[in-house]
Amino acid sequence: MNYSHDLSIIIPLFNEDESLPELSAWIERVVIKNNYRYEVIFIDDGSKDKSWNVIEELCQRNSNIKGIKFRRNYGKSAALQVGFQAALGRVIITMDADMQDSPDEIPGLYDLIVKDGFDLISGWKQKRHDPISKTIPSRFFNWATRKMSGIHNLHDFNCGLKSYRSEVVKSIEVYGEMHRYIPVIAKWAGFSKIAEKVVEHRARKYGVTKFGFERFINGFLDLLSIMFVSRFGKRPMHLFGTLGSMLFMLGFILAIWLGISKLYLSFHNTPARLLADRPSFYIALTSMILGTQMFLAGFVSEIVSRNSMERNNYLIEKRENLSE
């Protein structure tokens, strides 16, 4: 496949007008030194400062710089998705605009894709310049992601500095807060050559952080969504049907046991409590109701999945002419 650029650098941003000129100049020095055919795509995610004015000035000075502006703030995932769609490079590199990611890492990330044949390289900020309120929750979620996704060789899923083979970003969709789990999405899409590279994490020079504590809650919920969709997206009945059947059978067996014990006691003229007075009766009834509801939920989900226009969308890496 022919590419118009060796490298596309995608930079989502929100209120980062102070850092953009310095970041742009630094990137330009690195790519010129390495003779890359390149493009830099700034995605202005609804900034309220002068970020877009700065981007327009940069575009006028350098034809390799492009800008995309959102009408309002949609989030980093939306910015990355639009950048992925617009990118024309053989290798895609994403980085933050706050100067905490070093452009000097670009050649190393590029070579790991082109020369070593990896699909995705994720940066690892081994030494971080962040407060403990960010580092401890981040370590917990990275641990949870490794356990749930099976990608055990990554330490920092949320690092904004990553490099991708072009086919990877063109084959995935990022939304919500899913940018934290792009390696998981890529693995689900069939790109298994995933590794990491230790990168420099610089102290913030301009502005303030745009992320609060709620990102950890949203990130955990998005991780659950990814794991569910990846495993049961095309076969929801396997999950809901199995759980529903187990719950129904548990309640049914308990109800049968209650009924037999009641008949046994009555047959021997032994005083027995009414079934409606026994807590186990309501446990059995609730289990059967919940089991039925979950089974029906799986059945309905299966019908929706079968009728989806994307039900047979499969990623094909190679195709040969099989005609004689």
Q: What are the two backbone dihedrals, phi and then psi, of residue 75, each rounded to the nearest 5 degrees?
A: 110, 165
Residue 239 structure tokens: 């999950």
Each residue's pLDDT tens digit, 12-42:
999 998 999 999 999 999 999 999 999 999 9
Q: DSSP string covering 99-145, please?
A: S-B-GGGHHHHHHHHHTT--SEEEEE-SS--S-HHHHHHHHHHHHHH
Percentage, residues of the chain above pLDDT 90? 39
Cα distance between the two ends of the chain: 25
Contact 298, 240 (CB under 8 A): yes
**What is the number of other CB atoms lying within 10 angstroms of the CB of residue 88?**
15
* Site of tokens 């905490």: 100
Mark out the alpha helices in 150-272 (DSSP H runs): 166-171, 182-188, 214-232, 237-267
- Over 60: is that where the pLDDT of 48 sits? yes
- 312 CB-contact burial (10 Å; exposed 0-12 / middle 13-18 / buried 19+): exposed
Averaging pLDDT over each range in 137-146, 154-163, 222-231, 299-308, which range is the top one? Answer: 154-163
| Residue 1: band (very low, low, confident or very high) from pLDDT cuts 50, 70, 90 | low
Each residue's pLDDT tens digit, 226-265:
667 666 666 777 778 888 889 999 999 998 988 888 787 7
Percentage, residues of the chain above pLDDT 70? 80
